[in-house]
Chain A
Amino acid sequence: MTNRTLDIAVTGCAAISAAGVGAAALREAVDAGTPCLTPVPAELLGEPGHYWGKADAFRAADFMPPLKARKFDRSSLLATVTAGLALQDAGATPAALGATRIGIALGCGFGGIANSVEFLSGYFSAGIDGLVPMLFPNTVANAPASNASIEHGLKGPNVTQVQRFCSAETALQMACRFLAEGRADVMLAGGVDELNAPVMQGFHAMGQLRRYAHGFGEGCGILVLERRDHAERRGTAIRGTIDEIRTIGFIPEEHCAAGTDRLLGATAPELLSLSGTAPEWPPVANIFPAVRRLAVGPLVGRSLAMGGLAMVSLLLLLAPGQRGLHLAASPEGPYFGIDFTGGGPV
Chain B
Amino acid sequence: MRNSRIAITGLGIFCAASKDIPTFTDALLTGKSAIGPVDLFDVTPFPSRIGAQVKEYRPDDYFGKKGAARLSRADQFAAIAAGQALAASDVRRHYDMFDIGVAVGAGAAGMIHSEQWLRERLAGKRGHPALLRGILPDRTATALAERFRLCGYQGSVTTACSSSATAIGWGAGLIATGQLKACLCGGTDTLSVLTYAGFNSLRVVDREPCSPFSLGRQGISLGEGAAFLVLEEEAAAVARGATIHGFILGYALDGEAHHMTAPEPTGAEAARVMRDALAAAGLTTDNVGWVNAHGTGTPLNDAIESKAFRQVFGQRAAEVPLVSTKGLTGHCLGAAGAIEITATLLALQAGIIPQTLNFRGTDPECDLDYCHTGPKPSAATVALSNSFAFGGNITSVVISR
Hey, which bits of chain A sit against chain B, CB under 8 A?
A: 1-3, 99-100, 103-104, 108-110, 113, 116-117, 119-121, 123-125, 127-128, 131-133, 136-143, 145-147, 149-150, 152-164, 167, 170, 174, 177, 180-181, 183, 201-202, 205-207, 247-252, 255, 258-259, 262, 304, 330, 332-334
Contact = CB atoms under 8 A, between A and B. Distances in A.
A133 B201 contact: yes
Interface stretch (B169-177, B218-226, B367-375): B169-177
B122 A333 contact: no
Contacts of A160: 157-159, 393
Nearest to A141: B158
Contacts of B45: 127-128
Contacts of B258: 150
Nearest to A137: B260
B397 to A, nearest CB: 14
Contacts of A333: 142, 145, 151, 154
Sort A-B residue pairs by CB-CB distance and give the 8 closest, nearest first: A146-B391, A158-B255, A249-B154, A250-B145, A136-B198, A334-B154, A141-B158, A133-B201
A249 B150 contact: yes
B46 A128 contact: yes
Given A163-B155, A177-B173, A250-B142, A139 B98 contact: no
A139 B259 CA distance: 15
A3 B137 contact: no
A207 B157 CA distance: 27
A157 B255 contact: yes
Interface stretch (B10-18, B128-136, B227-235, B350-358): B128-136
A12 to B, nearest CB: 19
A157 B254 contact: yes
A143 B159 CA distance: 9
A119 B149 contact: no
Interface in B123-173: 126-127, 129, 132-133, 135-138, 141-142, 145-146, 149-160, 166, 170, 173
A71 to B, nearest CB: 8
Nearest to B133: A206
A207 B392 contact: no
Interface stretch (B111-119, B238-246, B323-331): B111-119
B389 interface: yes
B145 A159 contact: no
Contacts of A155: 254-257, 269
16 contacts: A99-B257, A131-B200, A143-B260, A147-B391, A149-B257, A150-B257, A157-B253, A158-B392, A159-B166, A160-B159, A164-B138, A177-B177, A183-B252, A251-B151, A255-B151, A332-B146
B261 A137 contact: yes
Central interface residue in A108, A119, A124, A147, by most chain B CB within 10 Å: A124
A142 B201 contact: no
Given A154-B255, A250-B142, 16 more contacts: A1-B179, A120-B118, A120-B197, A124-B118, A146-B260, A150-B258, A159-B166, A159-B253, A160-B158, A183-B253, A205-B126, A249-B153, A250-B146, A250-B151, A333-B142, A333-B145
Contact of B151 (A100, A140, A183, A248): A248
Nearest to B253: A157
Contacts of A110: 136
Central interface residue in B101, B117, B174, B255, by most chain A CB within 10 Å: B255
Contacts of A181: 173, 177
A124 B119 contact: yes
A152 B258 CA distance: 10
Central interface residue in A108, A138, A177, A205, by most chain B CB within 10 Å: A205
Contacts of B129: 205-207
Given A141-B137, A141-B158, A163-B155, A131 B391 contact: no
A1 B197 CA distance: 41
Contacts of A161: 155-158
Interface in B165-203: 166, 170, 173-174, 177, 179-180, 193-194, 197-203
Contacts of B272: 100
B151 A252 contact: yes
Contact of A206 (B132, B138, B197, B280): B132
A127 B42 CA distance: 11
B390 interface: yes
Central interface residue in B145, B149, B151, by most chain A CB within 10 Å: B151
A121 B118 contact: yes
Given A116-B111, A120-B118, A162 B156 contact: yes
Nearest to B119: A124
A252 B97 contact: yes
B102 interface: yes
A112 B19 CA distance: 31
B257 A248 contact: no
Contacts of B256: 155
Nearest to A198: B118
B151 A146 contact: no
Central interface residue in B133, B194, B199, by most chain A CB within 10 Å: B194
Contacts of A201: 121
B255 A120 contact: no
A136 B204 CA distance: 13
Contacts of A170: 155-156
A131 B201 contact: yes
B152 A249 contact: yes
A259 B253 contact: no
A174 B170 contact: yes
B343 interface: no
A142 B390 contact: yes
A205 B127 contact: yes
Contact of A125 (B122, B135, B156, B197): B122
Given A131-B201, A138-B260, A183-B252, A119 B393 contact: no
B106 interface: yes
Central interface residue in B111, B127, B201, B391, by most chain A CB within 10 Å: B391
Contacts of B132: 202, 205-206
